[in-house]
Chain A
Amino acid sequence: MKKSLSIIFLLIIFSIQIYNVIAIQRFPKPEFESGHTQPPTLTPSPRAQALDILDVFVLAAALSIVSWLVIKKRSRKGVFWMSVFAVLYFGIFREGCVCSVGSLQNVTLALFNPEYSIPLTVIAFFILPLVYTLFFGRTFCAGVCPLGTLQDIFALRPMSIKSWLEKVLGVIPFIYLGLAVLYAATGTDFIVCRYDPFVGFFRFEGTFMMFIIGGLLLLIGVFIARPYCRFLCPYGALLNLVSRFSRKHITITPAECINCKLCEDSCPFEAINKPVVLKDKEEKPIASRRFIFISVIIPLLVLIGGFTASQFHENLAIVNPKVRLAKELINNTNYGEPNEEAFEITAFKSAGQSKEELYKEAAEITNQFYIGGWILGGFLGLVFGFTLLSLSVFRYREDYTPNKGTCISCARCVDYCPVLPEDRSL
């Protein structure tokens, strides 16, 4: 009798260990005779929501001020102090989160997964800079984005790099953008937030890797200005596209360009289009033949890109924790841990989901990655194609003008222009 009882007791303990049933009132709540009152469980409140609204207003105000400084006042000094403000407020005070760069993933997730309820602050952080860019150029990058302005302050000895290298590296943000959208849309991960190199500097804490990568980027940034913005930032890629349609954009000269070449080396971002002398002009037949060749090759690139990326959909999908779990369960590999059961598998067992359900879910996600792979690859093919096109198309220019896509409106070039503004009273 005693033995069977103890076995039953053991079984109960065992089942508790496996299924992790919480909150069984094994011991009754005591009634105190000494008049002791039970203390309440303290639950500190989150950050006041009014502050979130303040953030949106500060964002709008900062965008307006920087746009005004860039377009009307043409003041590099003003932009510089605004960047200091941005690092202090959006960086250190707000601790860098949520930022516009990351918000693009929230918006993607909200569009693809109606269950995800996106905070309105995040929508504002995504939309406002885009709208301002559409009107005034990338003034957001110039003096509002804490990641960009932090690098801008560190850009002390900018060097020029080869323009073909600039173009080639300039494709990376689009790849990053595509991947970020793919992983956000499938609800897998927010990779932009995960690999944000600077947020640790704003919080004064973070992982060792984060500080190494962030520090390295800042160090490179001393010589090659704003490396993250130019060669990584996915939101910058979006703004690059949008800025090409901007209504007003910073001009190097306040009046007419006199081709004095003073501004030629002023841009640390290689974003000044130099005038093209007429005799450099290509012969027409060669140029048009190349143009036709590229117009044929773009759809081809889209198809090849889509096909290639879709072939790798399983490799892309393995990042998803559910797909990974399903794979580990099928292969019986236990996350490569030889001794103990991996936490993921323990958790799966205690959650009570059946394996078939998990496999079905994982298969669905993998299928999403297959479709996503086609779209991602097609998009990248398009980007490569247009990069080729922009390298080969000849465009006649008389004056020094900013490249509306890559110019981040920092207003450095403005200080170099000797031309005085036209007297408007005349």
Chain B
Amino acid sequence: MAKKEKKKKLNRRDFIDRGFRFSIGAGLVGLSGLLAKKSFSNEYVWQLDPEKCIQCGRCATECVMTLSAVKCFHVYDMCGYCDLCGGYLRPGVKKLTTAAENQLCPTSAIERKFIEEPFFEYHIIEELCIGCGKCVKGCNAFGNGSLQLQVNHRLCDDCNECAIARVCPADAFERVPADNPYKFSGNSKDETKKS
């Protein structure tokens, strides 16, 4: 009997309140459903467009990570395997040796390996690369442009607003879909493999 009386007490205001609560609950359930369904296809990450990049060197200094998440990537597919590499050697060197004073890279992060006459292969040692883009500039000027700056997504924190994007003079940073997070320029766009 007491229960029935309680039920009768439910007045209009309570009813409206309850209605609100239910609709909100339903809305939340719907929202989370949508979230679960759509999230997989709708995430974006930061990446830089090598075609816009002017290698100003700010990537090395402006990233929130103390060693920038922007690294030099070598698109081997485009590389000419030159002996006289514009990305590896300082312009105007006298000897084509691997001596440190001949190298363009300030941290010696490029490894030069002899393959066969007259080809050399160049590897980037990621731990040493600071993302300054000096080699990229050299490769663009004298070579095929196979050295390109890219955001390394294993290192990138994916800040809400990329600190480099803020100061990038070429406006080269943009959000790209997370399922295709690299943006190489040139002829080898689709041939890179995921690791």
Contacts and interface: CB of A to CB of B under 8 A. Distances in A.
A38 interface: yes
Contacts of B188: 41
* Interface of B (DSSP majority class): loop
Contact of A43 (B82, B169, B175, B192): B192
Given A22-B140, A32-B115, A98-B160, A53 B169 contact: no
Interface in B156-173: 156-161, 163, 166, 169-171
A334 interface: no
B88 interface: no
Nearest to A26: B144
Interface residues of B, number: 75
Interface of A: 13, 16-17, 20, 22-30, 32-34, 36, 38-47, 49, 52-53, 56, 60, 95, 97-99, 102-103, 105-106, 117, 119-122, 124, 127, 131, 135, 189-190, 193-194, 199, 203, 205-207, 247, 321, 342-344, 346-347, 350-351
Nearest to B40: A49
A351 B38 contact: no
B90 interface: no
Q: Which of A17, A27, A34, A53 has the most CB of B within 10 A?
A: A27
A287 B104 CA distance: 77
A33 B81 CA distance: 14
A127 to B, nearest CB: 8
Contacts of B52: 347, 351
Interface in B42-84: 42-45, 50-52, 54, 56, 58, 64-66, 73-82
Nearest to A116: B175
B116 A33 contact: yes
B82 A47 contact: no
B187 interface: yes
Most A CB within 10 A of own CB, among B43, B143, B171, B195: B43
Contacts of A247: 17
Interface stretch (B6-14, B28-36, B93-101): B28-36
Contacts of A44: 152-155, 195
Nearest to A42: B195
A27 B82 CA distance: 8
A222 B135 CA distance: 49
A34 B78 CA distance: 19
Contact of B193 (A23, A28, A41, A47): A41
A131 B145 CA distance: 51
B192 A41 contact: yes
B152 A38 contact: no
A342 B169 contact: yes
Top 5 closest A-B pairs, CB basis? A27-B80, A23-B186, A44-B154, A347-B170, A46-B153
Given A41-B73, A49-B178, A206 B195 contact: no
